[in-house]
Amino acid sequence: MISREPTLERLAVARAMLLDPFGLDDDALARALGCIGEHRIDDADLYFQITRHEGWSLEEGIVKSGSFGIDQGVGVRAVAGEKTAFAYSDDISEASLLDAARTVRSIAAAGQSRKVKLAAAPKLALSRALYGPTDPIATLDSAQKVALLEKIERLARARDPRIVQVMAGLAAEYDVVLVARADGTRAADVRPLVRMSITVIAESNGRREVGSGGGGGRFGLGYFQDAQLESYVDQAVNAALTNLESRPAPAGEMTVVLGPGWPGVLLHEAVGHGLEGDFNRKGSSTFAGRIGQRVAAKGVTVLDDGTLPDRRGSLNVDDEGHPSQRNVLIEDGILKGYIQDAMNARLMGVKPTGNGRRESYAHVPMPRMTNTYMLAGDKTKEEIVASIKRGLYATNFGGGQVDITSGKFVFSASEAFWVENGRIQYPVKGATIIGNGPDALTRVKLIGNDLQLDTGVGVCGKEGQSVPVGVGQPTLRIDGLTVGGTA
């Protein structure tokens, strides 16, 4: 059997699911784009999408819910200068396409010379092959999916008699997209996505505490073998039992050590959003106009990398048809660049970075992160913890907030420990870490050699849109952060 090149294979799948059933072909797409291009515009695209999604949840030993859904439609966009006109429809037909095209072209006046040159023939976009075109929903039957949830509950309850409640969830998604751009570019992606989650409640002497775990990525449900399930259970149970022993967190300005992996969510929120192109083009980010300047301590290198195989935040092509990239944002403390979608890149005179993302066909793209992480240093975790005279060692985080303009952030630590004279004393509860993203980067004193990415659970929100992302970092020591506590 002869297999096609992956980009061609994905395009064939997308055509078979999104064009052929509705009597559409390249000529129909060209007519819609040509209709938009009759007016003076800078860019235009069509974004077709079909998504099948399934979810199961288990609580108190029984399946509490099961769901399956299909969403499909097309988004039509025209861009003129800084203005965007957008229309979408769940009716995929040439009539709907042309109607939407006539609507969005009103963003620019008729009769002016064209700014965007419409291509005479389609051309294939460059792309990557980071994950297989698997339909994860079909990789296990319903009974096997329920059995996974039942197994994870049994494992959690067997870990410790103090575990009194277990909640588990399993989600799978099969997403197929096709992008047609005014310059003739045709791009497609077939995106699997799965996630397993577990939350446990531990009780002792009338006190109840919560712990959670889970993970996933762009592959089939066969990923969730026994060893993987056990790691999620250990993560959740250990967190709950640790919090049963926690004491009120001290407050004040102190040294804070962040553990590896998921604590990189602080980097994502406090720094990553501030490096997105739209905020910097408008001058609303604290990083605006600072390319080439020192914005972090030496040794701090931050990347946004959409090219990591099978990762939750990775993409073969972004939602504008550009291949994902490995973008160095900060190198050894020096600001090197921003992450860009097509419009903001054009307006800033730079190239897109493969970060044009949208929640669905019903949303406009904007610059968004993929997998954002800091590179490792040369210190061991033990050396970094031993360097703390008095301070906090935070190994897991819950929610947080950040102000893009000022860079100020507030994060709650869901698992943390008090450290004195280089020794962990006891777990603490109720610690919130308060600081300023750009300022915190300059206060990084020690960087661990233990870079980890999160297990595959991240969801990023921006302007009402949610997309899957990844985060990561090594163990970090940051001096002079403010900790809000309960002690």
Contact 371, 446 (CB under 8 A): no
The contacts of residue 233 (CB under 8 Å, 6+ apart) are: 152, 155, 156, 159, 198, 213
Residue 114 confidence (pLDDT): 54
Residue 408 token pair: 């100020």
d(CA 418, CA 341): 42
Contact 96, 48 (CB under 8 A): no
Which H helix or E strand runs over 231? helix 226-244
Please report the sign of the dihedral spanned by the C-alpha atoms of residue 258, residue 261, residue 263, residue 268: positive
CB atoms near residue 382 (< 10 Å): 11
Strand ranges (DSSP E) for 60-112? 62-80, 83-89
d(CA 335, CA 275): 9
Residue 175 confidence (pLDDT): 98
Contact 40, 113 (CB under 8 A): yes
Query: Which residues of the chain fall below pLDDT 70?
Result: 1-4, 109-120, 487
Closest listed residue to residue 11, CA positions, set 160, 125, 93: 125
Residue 398 token pair: 């819950």
Residue 336 confidence (pLDDT): 98
Concatenated DSSP letters of 281-308: HTT-STTTT-TTSB-S-TT--EEEETTS
Q: Is 163 helix (H, G, I), strand (E, B) or coil?
A: strand
- Helix%, strand%, coil% for the chain, nearest 5: 25, 40, 35
Which H helix or E strand runs over 197? strand 185-204
H and E: helices and strands count for the chain: 10, 25
Q: Can you name the residues that pair with 178 across neighbouring β-strands? A: 48, 188
Residue 2 confidence (pLDDT): 47
Residue 346 confidence (pLDDT): 96
d(CA 84, CA 43): 9
Condensed to tens digits (0 to 9), the pLDDT of residues 69-125 reads 999 999 999 999 999 999 999 999 999 999 999 999 988 766 554 556 666 678 888
d(CA 114, CA 129): 35
Residue 127 confidence (pLDDT): 86
Residue 109 confidence (pLDDT): 66
d(CA 100, CA 18): 17
Closest listed residue to residue 47, CA positions, set 340, 312, 357: 357
d(CA 466, CA 475): 28
d(CA 283, CA 269): 18
d(CA 12, CA 298): 47
Contact 286, 407 (CB under 8 A): yes
